[in-house]
Amino acid sequence: MNKIHRRFVMKINQQLKIKQNQSIVMTPQLQQAIKLLQLTNIELAEYVENAKLENPFIKEDLNIKKIEINEQKTSDVLENTKQNEDPLKINSDLEMNNSFDTHISERSFEKDNTTIKNNFENKNTFLSEVIENTVSNKISLKEYLTNQITLSFEKKDQSVAISLIDYLHPSGWLIHPVEDIAEELNKPVNYIEEIIQHLQSLEPIGIFAKNLSECLKIQLKEKGVLNETYQVLIDNLTLITKGKIKTLTKLCKIENDKIIQMINIIKTLNPKPAENFIDEPLSISEPDIIVSKTNKGWKIDLNRSTLPTIDLDEDYISEISNLNLGGDDNEFTANKIGEAKWLQKAVDQRNKTILKVASVILQKQISFFKHGLSHMKPLILKDVADAIGMHESTVSRVTNSKLILTDWGLLSLKEFFSAAIPSSEESDKHAASAVREALKKLISTEVSSKPLSDEKIADVLSNQGIDVARRTVAKYRDMLSIPSSAERKRRSKLNKLLSTG
């Protein structure tokens, strides 16, 4: 190697250098603590129940009851049931005694198929009683229809007819293409069409219709009033919503009074035959936090009826500790005792953190708790995080799925956080939720024949000290599912026309 080349040879040396940096290590326990913070009380109770099954050193006293009841029994059960009783058990006998099968057996219809068939065809005795009793007990739509299918269909067609129930839209319409259904069930299209036509004769009337028009026509046919004029009217329903009654009278070739009469009859029909049925039990949302006003001020607490408490089985821990365990057994015991103690502390810390966050929300939104939604103030996660000395992500996890019970109803903690809307008074900004409430109140008190435009609403709000653009009004109106002023005016005209008819 020549001298010139050697001058440019780089020397490679290995050196040890100490460098300090900070980073958060997500240990399994830290991950679990974060998870606990996100859980609702009921979810936490399930978590604790599972932990109890896996850890013999947790003596857990779970004071929680899940309330899953049928929609029609909700108010009666809550009013007439003691707190320590299970609403489901109380009503189980009632449901059994009024079930479709019991209704049949009491009259011994299962012993005489001919009698069943004759009564079903007449529709004035047996079936009407069955329908009345069945609907009053709010069974599922599938069960209700299956009961009728087993009575009115031949044995060979029953399985296909019952399968078609699964294709129903929640409205009760059969919106799936018949060709697709036939292919999936491996049956001819014309055979499926025949089954559907038969199914359309079942209760509730209008079930298995393929669209709104067919649903209404089936009901009118059942009433015995369906004719060519009604068919034209139903095929042009969009004209009714637009208030074009004169156009309808020309299409139907009848007088204005008559068309109003027909529209009023259509209004008595049920466009969604399945809406009165339930598919699953109703779950009642339980608050995680409860805020109430007392003589001494405001009280805020966790909902103790759904909050699990965790106690260590000290007697068992002492008993095991006195045994001379060795090796793996000793390690297992030590780990489980450690896990139980950690979970107890973690749940306690979770509860304290939730109360801290809720207390700051109460303080920041005291106007809401006193006066309602229209007094909600702007609030962001950072405001609460700074007040309790925690990170915004912690506050976000706490508020993500928790419910709070107030004098103004059950709300999500997330609803207390809202962007600020500028105000003519620099010191007084408005929360977006409060602006939406003000908008809703304005529209609810407007003269229906002269609805307020978005621009006019913006002007009125501006006079109230709320600076909001017309497009923002339109955005909030859409969020509240309130139609435009033109649509509100059109509906007002139509309602007035129908009421005078």
pLDDT score of 432: 80
Kindly list the distances between the CA atom of residue 185 and the CA atoms of 52, 152, 155, 160, in Å, as whole numbers in the listed order.
47, 21, 17, 8
pLDDT score of 190: 95
Please check whether residue 186 lies inside any domain of the structure.
no
Q: Are 49 and 67 in contact (CB under 8 A)?
A: no
pLDDT score of 10: 53
**Cα–chain center distance at 144:** 24
Please check whether residue 222 lies inside any domain of the structure.
no
- Top-confidence range, 101-110, 201-210, 280-289: 201-210
In this predicted model, what pLDDT tens digit does every residue of 457-474 receive, in sequence order?
888 888 888 888 888 888
Q: How confident is the model at residue 89 (pLDDT cuts 50, 70, 90)?
A: very low
Q: Are 232 and 218 in contact (CB under 8 A)?
A: no
Residue with tokens 């269909």: 153
Q: Is the pLDDT of residue 132 over 80?
A: no
Alpha-carbon torsion 42, 282, 160, 272, what sign?
negative
In this predicted model, what pLDDT tens digit does every residue of 273-300 receive, in sequence order?
988 776 554 455 789 999 998 888 899 9
Q: Are 273 and 131 in contact (CB under 8 A)?
A: no
Please check whether residue 202 lies inside any domain of the structure.
no
What is the domain count for the chain? 1
Q: Are 399 and 414 in contact (CB under 8 A)?
A: yes
Please check whether residue 232 lies inside any domain of the structure.
no
Give percent above pLDDT 90 in the chain: 34
Please check whether residue 59 lies inside any domain of the structure.
no
Please check whether residue 199 lies inside any domain of the structure.
no
Q: Is the pLDDT of residue 148 over 60?
A: yes
Q: Is the pLDDT of residue 194 over 90?
A: yes
pLDDT score of 420: 73
* Least confident piece of the model among 166-170, 356-360, 456-460, 490-494: 490-494
d(Cα 480, Cα 139) in Å, to the nearest integer?
33
Q: What is the mean pLDDT of residues 349-377?
A: 92
Q: What is the mean pLDDT of residues 208-213?
A: 93
d(Cα 485, Cα 492) in Å, to the nearest integer?
10
Please check whether residue 160 lies inside any domain of the structure.
no
Q: Are 378 and 430 in contact (CB under 8 A)?
A: yes
Average pLDDT, rounded, for the chain: 78
d(Cα 283, Cα 5) in Å, to the nearest integer?
83
Give the type of residue at 94: L
Residue 344 belongs to what domain range?
A: 289-307+340-492
In this predicted model, what pLDDT tens digit does every residue of 26-75 receive, in sequence order?
688 888 888 999 999 999 999 999 999 888 888 855 444 333 333 333 33
d(Cα 50, Cα 99) in Å, to the nearest integer?
36
pLDDT score of 357: 96
Please check whether residue 243 lies inside any domain of the structure.
no
Instruction: Enumerate residues 6+ apart whose C-beta is below 8 A from 346.
Output: 29, 32, 33, 36
- Top-confidence range, 52-61, 145-154, 427-436: 145-154
Residue with tokens 């320590």: 84
**Paired residues of 291 in beta bridges:** 300
